[in-house]
Each structure stands twice: as C-alpha cells, then as structure tokens.
Amino acid sequence: MINLKKAFILSFSILLPIILYFFLKFFGENKYVVSEVDYGCYEELIKTTFSEEDNRSEVILVDIRFDLKNSLVDNLLTKLYSNKKIDIITLSKINRNLSWNVIKTDFFSDTNDMICFESESKKDYVLLLDSDLKVRGIYDLNNLDEYDRLNVEIDIVNLKK
C-alpha cells in the first residue's frame, strides 16, 4: 500500500509540470506589444532623417542630442549597436565620431517652437522606431532603468515581424 502511494505521488509530481507545459503551450497566448507613442515632431523628424530609398533594419534608434558631450549615452548605444541588429542615427548640432550614422542637423532650431518631448529642459533622448518608422518608445538613457527597458523593447519589436 505504501509503495502504491509513493508511486502515485511520484507520477503526479512528474506529470503535473508536463501537463501544465502542454496546456500553456497550446492554449495560452503570450503577446508582447510595444504600443505606438505620440511624438509631436514626427513629420519633421522623418523629413530630416529618412529618405524613401533608405535600406533599413527592423529596429531604428534615433538618438537626439542636445548636450554636446555625453559619454554615458555613447557607451550604452555602442553596446546596443554591437549586440543587436539595429540601425542608429544620431541627430546633433555637431559632427560626432561614432560607429553609426551621425547627421549634423538644424532639426533643433526648426523645432524650437514645437513641443517635441514633454520636458522642462532639453535632455538627450532616444526614439525607438519600427520598420514602418512608427515611434514605439522615448527613452532617457541617462537613467539605466530606461536603458534596460529599451533593450527589452528592441527584442519585442524584432519579434513582432
């Protein structure tokens, strides 16, 4: 009787995780979606940065720099650029020596009267764009939690396609 009880408990403890796995595999749905973000200067950004014949990857980061020197953001973007299949475009008032595409632009002077980002001060930030050039997120990479969120959301946008 004791052996039968032990056999039942052992088989139940082995079969229960297997049953749960198959139930979740066939009946469960895990959908991770990064929703679209309303960005006030979207049209101006697209006109300034992209042309129709651009060959681009599934994920594009647009790095908008107000601060002339920010090595933390440079290092974090370099890490992303080397580890993920993404394109990065930096918009800046000055030319920068970076591994990706840097565009010296007057985007900043054209948008002075427009509200592009809800912030009292002009900070550096990064836009996450999908392959359809829709803004999926706005990140302040001076905050490392925002960097972790960006890293995860890049993977989610890559999986969507």
Per-residue pLDDT at 59: 83
Per-residue pLDDT at 121: 55
With cut-offs at 50, 70 and 90, classify the pLDDT of residue 17: very high
The pTM of this model reads 0.68
- 72 & 139 share domain: yes
Q: How many domains does the chain have?
A: 2
Say if residues 34 and 157 touch (Cβ distance below 8 Å).
Answer: yes
- 26 & 46 share domain: no
DSSP H helical ranges for the chain? 2-27, 42-49, 71-83, 107-110, 144-160
CATH code (residue 116): 3.40.30.10
Inside any domain, residue 35: no
Say if residues 96 and 102 touch (Cβ distance below 8 Å).
Answer: yes
- 57 & 112 share domain: yes
What is residue 90's DSSP assignment? E
91-149 pLDDT, tens digit per residue, is 777 777 777 777 766 665 655 555 555 445 567 788 888 878 888 888 888 888 988 99
26-68 pLDDT, tens digit per residue, is 887 777 777 777 766 666 677 666 665 566 677 888 887 776 6
Range of the domain at 5: 1-30
- 97 & 143 share domain: yes
- 55 & 90 share domain: yes
Both tokens assigned to 34: 């990064």
Say if residues 93 and 104 touch (Cβ distance below 8 Å).
Answer: yes
Inside any domain, residue 61: yes
- 91 & 133 share domain: yes
Per-residue pLDDT at 51: 63
